[in-house]
Amino acid sequence: MPDFRNMTLPEMVRHEGFTCTCGREHICPLDYLNVGRGILHELPDMLKAMGTKYPFVICDDNTYAAAGKLVCEILEAASIPHQLYIIPCQTDRLKPAEWEVGSVIMHYDPACDLILGVGSGVVNDICKVVAHAVGRKNAIVGTAPSMDGYASNSSSMEMNHVKVSLYNQAPSGILLDVDILAQAPMRMLWAGLGDMIAKYIALCEWRISHLVIDEYYCQDIADLMREGLNRVINAADGLAARDPQAVQAVAEGLVIGGIAMAYAKISRPASGLEHYFSHMWEMMALERGEPYDLHGIQVGIGSLLTLNMYRDIRKIVPDADKARDYWRRMTPERWESQIRAIFGKTAPEILALEAKEQKNDPAKHEERLSRIIGNWDRILKIIDEEIPAYDQIYQVMSRTGMPLIPRDIGISDDDTVNAFIGARDARNKYMTCTLLWDLGLTEEYAGKLREFIS
Closer by beta carbon to Zn ion, 219 or else 392: 219
Closer by beta carbon to Zn ion, 116 or else 396: 396
65-90 b/e with 16+ CB inside 10 Å = b?
ebbbebbbebbeeeebebebbbbeee
Q: Does 22 bind Zn ion (CB under 5 A)?
A: yes
Of the candidate spans 13-21, 158-166, 327-335, 443-451, the one that interacts with Zn ion by CB under 5 A turns out to be: 13-21
Q: Which sign does the torsion angle of CA 411, 415, 417, 420 carry?
A: negative
Of the candidate spans 22-30, 203-211, 359-367, 390-398, the one that interacts with Zn ion by CB under 5 A turns out to be: 22-30
With CB under 5 A as the contact rule, the residue among 100, 195, 274, 282 that binds Zn ion is 195
Closer by beta carbon to Zn ion, 231 or else 295: 295
Shortest Cβ 196–Zn ion spacing (Å): 9
Closest to 125 in 3D by CA, of 18, 258, 299: 258
Tell me how many residues contact Zn ion (CB under 5 A). Answer: 5
Closer by beta carbon to Zn ion, 302 or else 318: 302
Of the candidate spans 82-90, 127-135, 215-223, 243-251, the one that interacts with Zn ion by CB under 5 A turns out to be: 215-223
Shortest Cβ 300–Zn ion spacing (Å): 10
Shortest Cβ 222–Zn ion spacing (Å): 9
Shortest Cβ 118–Zn ion spacing (Å): 21
- Say which residues have a Cβ less than 8 Å from residue 344's Cβ, sequence separation at least 6: 284, 287
Q: Does 218 bind Zn ion (CB under 5 A)?
A: yes
Closer by beta carbon to Zn ion, 4 or else 310: 4
Partner residues linked to 86 by β-bridges:
59
Of the candidate spans 15-23, 53-61, 74-82, 388-396, the one that interacts with Zn ion by CB under 5 A turns out to be: 15-23
Closer by beta carbon to Zn ion, 22 or else 86: 22
Q: Does 27 bind Zn ion (CB under 5 A)?
A: no
Closer by beta carbon to Zn ion, 55 or else 253: 253
Amino acid letter, 374:
G
Binding mask 219-258 for Zn ion (x = CB under 5 A): -x--------------------------------------
CA distance 70 to 48: 18
Shortest Cβ 372–Zn ion spacing (Å): 25
Closer by beta carbon to Zn ion, 145 or else 318: 145
Shortest Cβ 57–Zn ion spacing (Å): 26
What part of residues 35-94 is at the interface with Zn ion (CB under 5 A)? none
Amino acid letter, 448:
K
103-141 b/e with 16+ CB inside 10 Å = b?
ebeeebeeebebbbbbbbbbbbbbbbbbbbeeebbbbbb
Shortest Cβ 24–Zn ion spacing (Å): 5
CA distance 446 to 416: 9
| Angle at alpha carbon of residue 180, lines to 37 and 165, rounded to 5° | 110
Shortest Cβ 29–Zn ion spacing (Å): 16
CA distance 8 to 27: 15
Rounded to the nearest 5°, which phi and psi values hold at 338? Answer: -65, -45
Helical segments of 214-343, H only: 219-235, 244-264, 273-288, 295-313, 320-329, 332-343
CA distance 301 to 362: 33
CB 152 within 8 A of CB 92: no
Closer by beta carbon to Zn ion, 300 or else 422: 300
CA distance 427 to 267: 12
Contact residues toward Zn ion (CB under 5 A) are 20, 22, 195, 218, 220
